[in-house]
C-alpha cells in the first residue's frame, strides 16, 4: 500500500512539472509493446519521480519497488497508465486521486 501512496503523490506533484516533451516520452513508453510491464512501470514512475526533484522520496520508492519485486509483482493495468497520461494532457488534476483509488480498490 505504501508504494501506491508514493506513486499517487508523485503523480500529483509531477502534474505541474511535466512539459510536452515529458508527455511525449511517456506516450512512446506506453506505445512500445516490446517493453515488459515491470520495465514500463519503473520507467513511467521513474520519470515522474525525477520531475518532482525529491531525491529522498525517489530513493524510498526505489527501495520499496525493489523489495516488492521479491514478494509480489503487481503493476497497474496498461489502461491505467494511458488514463493517467490522458489526465496530464487534459490538465485534469482532480481525477488523479480517483484514478488511483480505483486501482487500489481493485486490489482487494
CATH number of the CATH domain containing 89? 1.20.120.530
User: Can you read off the three cell numbers belonging to residue 9?
Assistant: 503523490
CA distances for 76 relative to 38, 83, 99, angstroms: 10, 11, 11
pLDDT score, position 2? 83
Tell me the residue range of the domain where 87 lies.
2-105
Across 96-103, average pLDDT: 92
Residue-wise pLDDT for 50-87, tens only, equals 999 999 999 999 898 888 777 766 778 889 999 999 99
Number of domains in the chain: 1
| pTM of the shown model | 0.89
Amino acid at each position: 500500500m505504501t508504494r501506491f501512496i508514493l506513486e499517487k503523490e508523485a503523480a500529483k506533484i509531477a502534474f505541474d512539472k511535466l512539459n510536452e516533451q515529458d508527455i511525449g516520452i511517456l506516450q512512446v513508453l506506453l506505445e512500445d509493446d516490446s517493453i515488459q510491464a515491470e520495465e514500463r512501470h519503473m520507467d513511467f514512475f521513474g520519470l515522474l519521480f525525477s520531475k518532482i526533484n525529491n531525491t529522498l522520496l525517489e530513493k524510498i520508492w526505489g527501495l520499496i519497488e525493489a523489495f516488492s519485486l521479491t514478494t509480489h509483482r503487481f503493476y497497474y493495468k496498461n489502461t491505467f497508465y494511458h488514463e493517467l497520461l490522458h489526465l496530464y494532457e487534459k490538465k485534469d488534476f482532480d481525477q488523479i486521486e480517483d484514478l488511483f483509488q480505483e486501482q487500489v480498490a481493485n486490489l482487494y
